[in-house]
Amino acid sequence: MTYDGELIARGIELRRHDTPNFIKEFQTEVHTLFECKNSDEVISKGYEQALLLVTRTTDRIMTADIQLQDLVVSKLLGQGLDKYKSLFPHVSAAIQLSNAGKSPLAGEGVEYIHTNARHTNPLCRVQPRELIRQGEVMDYDKEKYREMLLEAAETVLGFFGFDRSIYGDTAKKKNRKWWRTLREYRSTDIENETL
């Protein structure tokens, strides 16, 4: 955050073109929560509010309270469809578009929504945005979007010791022993400064 109130974000999901809008909005809101007068407020007030925001946004995902257009992931095709050896989500969406007569070319963007990330058939894991009819009610993969949210939360809140496992996400739990050690040193330093 600059002195002019401008948010400068680098190296996080907020800057990526393939991040769904609701995650970009989430990270922007998290950053605004840390506009505090001193470091004690950042740790006590800002972090607690950020955790509440993670909880509220997770609830919105799980109760399908997010608009489909805010769930769209956009990726560029780096090469022609015939060159891909793996069916990444954007490739699966492009194949579905091709089968529907709308063949995307290398360098073009493919927009899709995760519908069932754990399906055995990669072509059934995503739905291209172009193939979703106006006003159609569609069930999206809530767990996949929850996982994406927790990853984005960990990116911006990891410095404060945020760990996605407190929200029940143990699938991608990382070894954070070094992080806990650093946090203990920080807590000790803060205690020593207040004495």
What is the largest distance, in Å, between two alpha-carbon atoms of the chain? 71
Which of these, 183, 177, 149, 7, lies nearest to 15 by C-alpha position? Answer: 7
- Residues 79, 50 within the same domain: no
Q: Tens digit of pLDDT per residue, the chain (195 long)?
A: 444 444 454 445 555 567 899 998 998 888 777 765 666 666 667 788 889 999 999 999 999 999 999 999 999 999 999 999 999 999 999 999 999 999 899 999 999 999 999 999 999 999 999 999 877 778 999 999 999 999 988 888 887 788 888 777 665 555 555 556 766 766 777 677 666
Single out the residue in 110, 131, 152 at which a domain terminates. 131
Strand order from edge to edge, sheet including 73-76: 73-76, 109-114, 126-128
Asked, for residue 8, whether it belongs to a domain, the answer is no
Q: Are residues 126 and 150 in the same domain?
A: no
Say if 43 falls within a structural domain: yes
138 lies in some domain: no
pLDDT of the residue at 192: 72
d(CA 4, CA 82): 49
pLDDT of 137: 76
Per the structure, how many domains does the chain have?
2
Q: Which two tokens stand for residue 102?
A: 């709308």
Boundary residue ending a domain (84, 111, 131): 131
**CATH number of the domain enclosing 122:** 3.40.1820.20
Q: Is 4 among the domain residues?
A: no
Angle ∠(168,170,172) on CA atoms, nearest 5: 130
